Amino acid sequence: MPVDFHDIDRLEIFPPIGIARVGDSGFDLSRGVSYGDIEWFLPSDIPGSDELPPGIQSSDQLRDSKKRIKRQAVRFRVYAFDRNGNVLGEVNNESGYELKWTVHVANAKGAFTEFRDPTQNRRNPDVQPESELTSVQPNVDHRTDLIVNPGPKSIGRTLVEPKPDPNPVPLTGIFYGSRKKSYASLSETQKKDLEVNLGELRTDQLGRLIFIAGAGYARCVSDPKIPNFQPDIISEFDSIDWVDDICDGWVDVVVQKTVDNTTTFTKKPKNKATVLSAPPKFAWGINAPTTLYDVIENLAHKNGISWRGGDPVEFYENIWPVLQSTYGLSWVNEQGFQGHGVAGKGNFLLFEKVLGTPDGEDSRILRDHIFERLRKPNEEDPSEASTKFMPRLSGDDGDALEPGENLSHESTTPPIRRFAALTELQYTRFKQWREGKFKSSQPFWKKQDGTPYANIEAAPLQFQPWLLTFAALEHTVGEPLYPGIEMYWLAKEASIYNLTKEPLAIPPFRINHTTVGPGHLSRGLSLPWQSDFAQCNTHWWPASRPDDVINILDWPQGQSITEANFIKDIAPKRRKWDRGIRETPDFPVDYFPGCTDMVRSWQKLGFISKQHGTIQAEGGEKLPVFLEQGRLKMEKNAPFTLPLSL
């Protein structure tokens, strides 16, 4: 039912934080030039799914016709609320509203400080050093030669028939690096080589905004004679004169409606939305135990904000996603397979019904056991710096210590900082769950019969903004952030969010863009992004960047197998996801061959997704299978016409 503009008190953009992901579709990474049309897809607007995105039947279809990786786009909508905070509905072209969108993104990595440098040394120290800045403005935002800033860009779809598709709006800026002083003497071709495309804007048929990320392209600009210059990486995460196309920024909209050619309704949302671009998600249906949603929800809770009315813990919303994630991670991480895999004692899929039952001795014993293995949040207990506790992932200060391993004598931080933990809110909910203080109702994203909503329009109106918020963030990484995938450690700082207690502002997943500028949320990430992908290869973020996988060619085609056959015949065929990428040794300290290879070959790596086959456990349960597919041969300068490979 169309929304009457007389009833509108407030407009808001959803999702509040949207995630787009890079892909080389429409781009030739070997030459550094656009090539062909960009193919892209939209993820599901309904959370809780372990399937591939809508319209994609297999991992192979995450690549385009040229075997290049499709880009993951994000769609923004506008919802109207009345003065009591009730959702009136979505406003768009279908109901006679025109939407004029404005987006301002930037890449500010090159201007930021070196990775986790306590002395705050700058990246690219010889370009616009602090001594050149005025004493009144000493911050890195004024190192403009190192910031790719396209400026605010707008797009909208007219209601005038035949309502033509607006042309895509490119988001292109310039990265001068060390070449600013010689810029005037460069040829037009060389000047164009300094341009960086961060993505583009489009709209769908109803006027909603579509943000498409960049190509995932990274290079060095130091040599004007070589336009696609990708020299050997000699820095951990702070490569000089390098630039990539990861970005972030704000999204705003003006909503208008004309009635009888006389009355014009014009209104803007109270808050801007945020868009982040990030590396591809190479493992679909597998999520991190702690996501950015969990991080932000925890900060809101600490500030006295709750949008669920103090409801008791819900097993299928608050507990099961964490427990279920451990099984998924077992398909992309060897250590996870040992503890939570098909035959692992921590395969919680075998105990779902018991774990979701508040009563009963069996349930209590199992809940006690699991809770005692959870690492306390905020590094509360130094004795838990051990792989005995969960999650078995690295923390915000470096690689997790393996059994028998000690910190080097140079380390000044306690070992507990090397291990990940759940947020305080997650831990508190698990404590209540342990005590039997929880319910096992259907989660918000499912109907009462347990089936998920087909799409966002099929969900109850009052749930739609919340579902869009959650769906956009459930596939992100919130722990660890060293430096991170979608955001760096800044994500844990309450000061960057609009954590108002105003009831109408919930859910409170809004970045405060009066203080957080374009490029601020991604500038602390690895430069280039591929360096992080190469080096964090053991127990960091396997839900996005897999560690160890089983290829689909090692699986009996289309078949289901027994647990015994899997352990005997299939599990031993597990191999490194990034095989073909050289390993980076500890010494010499300026030698990073794995990072160099990742810059040149990331687009050839495979995707992991759930398959049709299953594993029949000893108790008769059918366990899902996640396999690698769509990998290209790792040959130097390999053409994209090569067949898929192990």
Domain ranges, residue 139: 5-278
Residue 294 falls inside a structural domain: no
Task: Decide: helix, strand or coil at residue 116.
Answer: coil
Q: Is the CB of residue 607 less than 8 Å from the CB of residue 628?
A: yes
Task: Decide: helix, strand or coil at residue 240.
Answer: coil
Residue 401 falls inside a structural domain: no
What end-to-end distance do the CA atoms of the chain give, in Å? 52
Residue 63: pLDDT band (50, 70, 90) is very high
* Backbone dihedral angles phi then psi of residue 28, each to the nearest 5 degrees: -100, 100
Residue 326: pLDDT band (50, 70, 90) is very high
Residue 484 falls inside a structural domain: no
Q: What is the pLDDT of residue 558?
A: 74
Q: What is the pLDDT of residue 218?
A: 98
DSSP element (H, E) containing 77: strand 74-81
pTM for the model stands at 0.95
Cβ contacts of 510-516, under 8 Å, gap ≥ 24:
510/16, 510/271, 510/272, 510/273, 510/274, 511/16, 511/17, 511/250, 511/272, 511/274, 513/250, 513/272, 513/274
Residue 209 falls inside a structural domain: yes
Q: Which of 86, 456, 5, 507 is nearest to 255 (CA)?
A: 5
Residue 380 falls inside a structural domain: no
Q: Express each pLDDT in 358-405 by its tens digit.
A: 999 999 999 999 999 999 999 888 999 888 898 888 777 777 766 666
Q: How many residues does the chain have?
A: 646
DSSP element (H, E) containing 327: helix 320-329
CA distance 317 to 208: 29
Q: Report which of residues 408 and 298 the model is more confident about.
A: 298
pLDDT > 60? residue 135: no
Based on the structure, what is the number of domains in the chain?
1
The CA distances from residue 540 to 333, 342, 398, 543, 603, in Å, are 10, 21, 9, 9, 20
Q: Which of 297, 276, 279, 265 is nearest to 78 (CA)?
A: 265
Residue 373 falls inside a structural domain: no
Residue 303 falls inside a structural domain: no
* Backbone dihedral angles phi then psi of residue 285, each to the nearest 5 degrees: 85, 5
Q: Express each pLDDT in 225-234 by its tens digit.
A: 888 999 999 9
The percent of residues above 70 in pLDDT, for the chain, comes to 93
pLDDT > 90? residue 221: yes
Residue 226 falls inside a structural domain: yes
